[in-house]
Chain A
Amino acid sequence: MIKIDQIIAPMGKDFLVFFVHLARISKLAGMSLYWTFAAPFRGEKLRWNLASVQIVRIGVNSILIVGIISFFVGLIIAMQAAYQLERFGASIYVADLVGVSMTRELAPLITAIIITGRSGSAIAAELGTMKVSEEIDALKTMALNPIGFLVVPRMLAMIIALPCLTILSDLLGIAGGFVLALTNLKIPFIAYYNQTVEAIVLKDFITGLIKSFFFAIIIAQIGAYQGFSVRGGAEGVGKSTTTAVVSSIFLIIIADLFFTILFYSTL
């Protein structure tokens, strides 16, 4: 017979391990935020040259993929909405649905998930490889702070690139809706345009960007944390990269839920 503590004890252990991870991530995030936002005021330099390299890798190189996916998502939402709304002769409201759901929800979310897959994983893999090959130790022995040198440029780049990509995603998602409205629903351009402008308020747009700012911190921090905690060679790097992607997406969804309740709950 299985004793009850054989089931409970490991669960308790997992539960504790979860909190240990959470505590460590918070510590890393705290230090990174300090080195990004506070330390520059104390005469520490921000490495913009390193950050700009990362902005290109995280941001510029993702423009195409984010654009295409957002366009198609806009198109798909418009098709699904049109299917319902046409029956009531309310096709014009496709504009509202696409506009609001893209800016509030889908653009920040899709962008964050694409960037997690592209760049969150890359951060974990790069830092993990550096950890395994003792490059991070080498930095420390040169009296260079790995957080300032490796994490801050990546987080800075993420904080800049992700909201920009989110704006792009907003625009192209709405463009996807436009295309469907013009071709399939035969709604005139100007009518759809006016409807969209009317439907989206500044708040929708801003809350989307606020979300993407926090998603950026999550992606960079989880990637860095998983990279730093790699143990044992190449296999460890692979494991950490997978964990980074899965736990980032999980945390992004949780954060999204939290912000949606915060911004829009009518309770």
Chain B
Amino acid sequence: MKEPIIKIRDLHTSFGSLHVLKGINLDIFPFETLAILGRSGCGKSTLLRHLIGLRKPTSGQIFIKGVDFIHAHPRNRHKILKKIGMLFQGSALFNSMTVKENVMLPLLEHTPLESTTINIMAKMKLEQVGLSGFEDYYPAQLSGGMRKRAALARALAMDPDILCCDEPSAGLDPIVSAGIDNLLLKLKKAFNMTIVVVTHELESVFLIADRIALLDRGKIIFTGSKQEMKKSDNPKIIQFLERRADEEVLDGDQYLESLLNG
């Protein structure tokens, strides 16, 4: 088996007294698309933020391409970061810049290329995500789906090895979100990337993911292929697949007590 491009070892994170990630162990292999599934608020975005260095875990280690990412020298971290693209849950485009300037920014800052070359490269990236003709629009002038595409173009600007997507299709209508899924599939082929997608949309997971990791209460309770997931008899997984709500356990006395002490 190939050496994983990302290795997460015993990762713990808490916000104050809230213990969100309770010992995550996860391997992500080169050129695969891994979907991290989980219920809202279970810590998916938090896990992703660790991968791109936006948050330091309470304990644990992350190795990216064999480098201890958390404790690496800032210069080495930056070198790794330049090869990671991130698509944020809310796009996070720079609102003061046009779409093209957004895509050009990382290139201008990190490459010695001429600005005319960068200009052409940015146009190409925008064309790949189907936004040619909108180069000079500001993010506020675009629809949500177009903003996602623009953010994707920006994430791809530096030709990353790893692309992280936080809920790429959240808040979009089914047709547009299917479009984003297809785009991700297309880009994966074109760019030879490892893609980490965080989502809770089963359909898009089954369409784009090679492997699925299920996050529940701060732990990875399952990793495997779609088939393995569908065959699993773990009640948590079945519940997720069948989209069943939690059974409400209502103990009268306990409820009353919680109200009184609340």
Say if the beta carbon of B52 comes within 8 Å of chain A. Answer: yes
Say if the beta carbon of A203 comes within 8 Å of chain B. Answer: no
Question: Across the interface, do B105 and A142 meet the contact criterion of CB distance under 8 Å?
Answer: yes
Choose the segment among A84-92, A130-138, A224-232, A254-262 that binds chain B (4+ C-beta atoms closer than 8 Å): A130-138
Say if the beta carbon of B92 comes within 8 Å of chain A. Answer: yes
Cβ distance B64 to chain A, nearest Cβ, rounded Å:
13
Question: Across the interface, do A137 and B54 meet the contact criterion of CB distance under 8 Å?
Answer: yes
Q: Which of A135, A137, A140, A142 contacts B95 (CB 8 A)?
A: A135
Question: Across the interface, do A134 and B88 meet the contact criterion of CB distance under 8 Å?
Answer: yes
Q: Which of A134, A143, A144 contacts B92 (CB 8 A)?
A: A134
Scan residues 64-95 of chain B and give those whose CB is less than 8 A from a CB of chain A.
77-79, 81-82, 84, 86, 88-90, 92-95
Question: Across the interface, do A142 and B81 meet the contact criterion of CB distance under 8 Å?
Answer: yes
Q: Which of A130, A135, A144 contacts B109 (CB 8 A)?
A: A144
Across-interface contacts of B106 in A (CB, < 8 A): 142, 144
Say if the beta carbon of B110 comes within 8 Å of chain A. Answer: yes
Say if the beta carbon of B53 comes within 8 Å of chain A. Answer: yes
Across-interface contacts of A129 in B (CB, < 8 A): 95
Cβ distance B4 to chain A, nearest Cβ, rounded Å:
21
Knowing A133-B92, A133-B95, A144-B109, the reply to whether A138 touches B86 (Cβ < 8 A) is yes
Across-interface contacts of B90 in A (CB, < 8 A): 133-134
Cβ distance B16 to chain A, nearest Cβ, rounded Å:
14
A141 CA to B106 CA in the complex, in Å?
10
Q: Which of B86, B94, B95 contacts A141 (CB 8 A)?
A: B86
Question: Across the interface, do B86 and A143 meet the contact criterion of CB distance under 8 Å?
Answer: no
Question: Across the interface, do A141 and B109 meet the contact criterion of CB distance under 8 Å?
Answer: no
Scan residues 121-177 of chain A and give those whose CB is less than 8 A from a CB of chain B.
126, 129-130, 133-135, 137-138, 140-144
Cβ distance A135 to chain B, nearest Cβ, rounded Å:
5
Question: Across the interface, do A141 and B54 meet the contact criterion of CB distance under 8 Å?
Answer: yes
Q: List 11 A-B contacts (CB under 8 A).
A: A130-B94, A134-B89, A135-B93, A135-B95, A137-B92, A138-B154, A140-B52, A141-B54, A142-B81, A143-B81, A143-B110
Shortest beta-carbon contacts, A-B, top 8: A134-B92, A143-B78, A138-B92, A143-B81, A141-B86, A141-B52, A142-B106, A134-B88
Which residues of A approach B to under 8 Å, CB–CB? 126, 129-130, 133-135, 137-138, 140-144
Given contacts A137-B92, A138-B86, 12 further A-B contacts (CB under 8 A): A130-B95, A133-B95, A134-B90, A134-B92, A135-B93, A138-B94, A141-B84, A141-B86, A142-B106, A142-B109, A142-B158, A144-B106
